[in-house]
Amino acid sequence: MQLIKNEIRVFLAAVMFFTRIPVPHHNTADLNRASRYLPLVGIIVGLIGVFIFSVAHFLFKDSFIAAFLSLGATLLATGAFHEDGLADVADGFGGGWTKVRILEIMKDSQVGAFGVIALIIVIGLKICLVARFADLCSSFRFGMIFISAHSVSRIMPIFLLRFMQYSREDDTSKIKPLATKISWSGLICAIILGILPLFILVFVFHFTPYVFLSLVPCGLLTWYLARYFNKWINGYTGDCLGAIQQLNEILFYLSILLFWSYSS
């Protein structure tokens, strides 16, 4: 019973750190283990997005308006936590040529041209892809695809927590409490939670099993970005994790659309 209570506390710490959803305060020790529940947090964020999409689509009868409002809801739920990381990574690696300079740019709170361009492309693609799937699928299938995109994309940053070192040498990063290396059991827990919506999509809603192939390009992208980050800054930062989540969310949608189109 105590073990269950401890895990619930750690999960609530993950919700507190990765979203704006109010939960009781937790200590740093809980945050050090909270990353294992990041995919489960993604499922919660996905459920929020699906709910807002369903309401907006019912009211306005338009997939693009619903997709736009749904994205807005997920941004509010997370405080644009991962999007901020994507913008910082785009600015840092786009404008810096040394480790010190890249880290300096990424730490700057101002968003530059590279960051703005990255956000426009990623957010625009999300709206288009979500609207496309809403038009192609039944509401239940669409909902599970949406939720899966949020959960699967949040598995990928956790591999960096397991296999790479934290790049910054100070304690000023907003993700420093999570920068401790995740255990194998934590990684396995995250993977199981992250792919659970895919199994529901395939075995409950009878979607094509090709959906599991989406894990391959997502894994390859994560591997490439990990090597790229390690080459330039000798590890990762919290912004790198956010960028990986955002890019994998897009790639997940694109992969399913591609595999589904050619398997039909």
Q: In the chain, what is the greatest distance between 2 CA atoms, to the nearest angstrom?
A: 52
Domain limits at 65?
36-263
Residue 236: strand, helix, or coil:
strand
How far apart (Å, rounded) are the C-alpha atoms in residues 37 and 111?
29
Whether 12 is covered by a domain: the verdict is no
Whether 253 is covered by a domain: the verdict is yes
Residue-level pLDDT at 141 = 95
Whether 118 is covered by a domain: the verdict is yes
Eight-class DSSP state of 140: H
Q: Dihedral angle at the C-alpha atoms of 137, 126, 261, 209, nearest 10 degrees?
A: -70
Those residues whose C-beta lies under 8 Å from the C-beta of residue 181, and which sit 6 or more positions away, are 161, 162
Eight-class DSSP state of 76: H
How far apart (Å, rounded) are the C-alpha atoms in residues 69 and 64?
9
Amino acid at 205: F
Residue 61: strand, helix, or coil:
coil
Residue-level pLDDT at 226 = 97
Question: Residue 169 in contact with residue 221, Cβ under 8 Å?
Answer: no
Q: Which of 96, 97, 75 is nearest to 84 (CA)?
A: 75
Mean pLDDT by groups of 10 residues along the chain of 264 residues:
84 91 76 90 98 97 97 96 95 91 90 94 97 94 97 97 83 58 92 97 92 96 97 94 97 93 72
pTM here is: 0.93
How far apart (Å, rounded) are the C-alpha atoms in residues 92 and 98?
10
Whether 19 is covered by a domain: the verdict is no
Whether 191 is covered by a domain: the verdict is yes
Residue-level pLDDT at 259 = 85
Residue-level pLDDT at 109 = 83
Residue-level pLDDT at 208 = 87
Whether 79 is covered by a domain: the verdict is yes
- Structural domains in the chain (count): 1
Q: Which of 100, 206, 229 is nearest to 157 (CA)?
A: 229
Whether 71 is covered by a domain: the verdict is yes
Residue-level pLDDT at 175 = 58
Which burial class, exposed, middle or buried, applies to 213 when counting CB atoms under 10 A from its CB (0-12, 13-18, 19+)?
middle
Whether 74 is covered by a domain: the verdict is yes
Residue-level pLDDT at 97 = 87
